[in-house]
A and B are shown apart, each in its own frame.
Chain A
Amino acid sequence: MDLVVQGLVKAFRLLLSGDPEVLEITLLTLRVSGLATLISLFLGVPLGLYLAVARFRGRELVVGAVNTGMGLPPTVVGLWVSILLWRNGPLGMLGLMYTPTAIVIAQAVIALPVVTGLTMAAVQQLSPKLRLQVLALGASPLQFWWIILREVRFGILAAVMAGLGSVISEVGASMAVGGNVRGYTRVLTTAIVLEVSKGNFDMALALGFVLMVLTYSITYALTIVQQRRRRW
């Protein structure tokens, strides 16, 4: 238990002293996971809306794939993205391996099914009568989608939180495609792994606290928004 106390004390010191390296790692984590979540939103929300409403052959296959993808193992994503980005891989000429951009790509892939799946589920919980009503009132396609989007906004917020939560906490993909390069691609989770293998458990715990405080703060802000108009 001493270790936990030491870790907490160290975490407070780190936060208060504004250790430049920890600050840099924290900012990079925010930047990378934030961008990845944004990208997954721009792709996943339209995809989720479409999958919820569209009727086409093989839809169940796609939906099943999305639902499976919600549990996509980050290490597997990391491996695939590595193979694509390696110097001698198909996208090698971009020189993206071991850069923050590579982590953003991998994390966006991880968050995409989460955002898509939760958006889709949120739409499907709406009363089917809404669709008829909106169309009967003569809404244009654009208006139709806008109304649906408005109705599921809280569900989408849940998707944002789940997506961000899944990427900010993953380590397998960041390690594989980022390489945990000091001062460049080291994020909080990979830094924690390194400190553990160096035997600096107090530092690892401290970074863990920083990560959790960070995630909680963001999620809390989003939750405030989500819960403002609760009906239950």
Chain B
Amino acid sequence: MKKYLIFALCVLATAALFGCTPKAQPQSNSPTEESSSKEPVPPVSAPAGNKDVILATTTSTQDSGLLDVLIPLFEQKTGYRVKTVAVGTGQALAMGERGEADVLLVHAPEAEKKVVVSGAAINRRLVMHNDFIIVGPKEDPAKIKGSRSTVEAFQKIAKAKALFISRGDDSGTNKKELELWKAAQIEPKGSWYQESGTGMGQTLTIASEKGGYTLTDRATYLALKKNLSLVILLEGDKSLLNVYHVMQVNPEKFPRVNAAGGKAFADFMVDPETQKVIASFGKDKFGEPLFFPDAGKPDIY
């Protein structure tokens, strides 16, 4: 009788142990292995002690696929393992403020400055930019195409009470959108203004399904375009610039922060070689780059 129970337990146990592949390598191109077999150059800075780096970043860098390219490069170069936590910029900054991350890659300049002033983050550096765009259904019910400015477009949407899908998640894009409503002197409210409470990819899908307008970063839009019935209706306005900064979480304030790892990643992001990779990322797939490298340029944001 008990045989059956034991057998059942065994099934479960094997299931559990089966998964116990010896030291599952962090990634197909494990940093140590690659560097020993292919690269004659020793790792730039062999990590002493903690080799895990927690990167808190926005969904756009992950959903666009940029991090899938950059992180293996960084791991191979330095031997660190990056734990990417891709959340909205609001949450990423909050993680930094609580010392729960080592390095932040975010895109909400105003909010970032506050975190630096508070002392939670240091060494804020310009990495890259792309731009926000306003997308919507081809029919363009609020007739925003051809608007001279974002403010005008937003005013038209509000006036026509045309459906607008907001991220509503305190992300960088959401912060930007609220800034723009404020500039247009409109308090977005009513049944035409809906908050999805999800990431950019999901929000674009919702806008596409419901035939609404939304503000998106260009990278995520291009990456998802094949599934969307949304077209670009406004672009190129100065207020639509989307700027990414990298910051290290202050180890003096949070002793458990992996200071060396955070610094290594921040340095990597502004390294000329990485910047070249950023510049070419997406060209083959989308015919145009998704991000424009900015490291070393005067930071006016």
Contacts and interface: CB of A to CB of B under 8 A. Distances in A.
B85 A199 contact: no
B201 A31 contact: no
A60 interface: no
A225 B86 contact: no
Contacts of A28: 19, 24
Contacts, number: 132
A225 to B, nearest CB: 5
Interface of A: 20-21, 24, 27-32, 34-35, 37-38, 41, 86-88, 92, 97-98, 149-150, 153, 156-157, 160, 164, 179-185, 194, 196-199, 201, 218, 221-222, 225-226, 228-229
Interface string B172-196: 0000000000000000000000000
Nearest to A152: B5
A198 B83 contact: no
Given A150-B2, A225-B8, A182 B68 contact: yes
A222 B8 contact: yes
Interface of B: 1-2, 4-5, 7-9, 11-13, 15-21, 24-28, 52, 54, 59, 62-63, 65, 68, 71, 81-86, 98-100, 198-202, 204-205, 223-224, 226-228, 254, 256-257
A199 B100 contact: no
B100 A88 contact: yes
A198 B63 contact: yes
A31 B99 contact: no
A150 B3 CA distance: 10
B19 A218 contact: no
A34 B84 contact: no
B262 to A, nearest CB: 13
Given A34-B19, A98-B52, A199-B226, 12 more contacts: A24-B24, A32-B19, A98-B85, A153-B4, A184-B24, A184-B83, A194-B62, A199-B204, A199-B224, A218-B11, A226-B8, A228-B4
B167 to A, nearest CB: 12
A177 to B, nearest CB: 11
25 contacts: A30-B15, A41-B12, A87-B100, A87-B257, A97-B100, A150-B2, A153-B1, A153-B5, A157-B4, A160-B12, A179-B83, A181-B84, A182-B71, A183-B25, A183-B28, A184-B24, A185-B83, A194-B62, A196-B201, A198-B65, A198-B223, A199-B204, A199-B226, A225-B8, A226-B8
Contacts of A201: 227
Among B8, B54, B86, B200, the one with the most A-chain Cβ atoms within 10 Å of its Cβ is B8
A35 B28 CA distance: 24
Per DSSP, chain A at the interface is helix
A70 to B, nearest CB: 20
B7 A179 contact: no
Contacts of A198: 63, 65, 201, 223-224
A225 B7 contact: yes
Which 7 residue pairs across A and B have the least CB separation, nearest first? A31-B19, A34-B16, A197-B201, A199-B224, A183-B27, A34-B15, A30-B19
A164 B13 CA distance: 12
Contacts of A32: 19
Contacts of A38: 9, 12-13, 16
B2 A221 contact: no
B202 A87 contact: no
Nearest to A31: B19
B16 A86 contact: no
A88 to B, nearest CB: 6
Contacts of A27: 18-19, 21, 24
Nearest to A221: B11
B84 A182 contact: yes
B60 to A, nearest CB: 10
B99 A87 contact: yes
A21 B28 contact: yes
A92 B13 CA distance: 29
A164 B12 contact: yes
A98 B83 contact: yes
Given A150-B1, A199-B227, A34 B201 contact: no
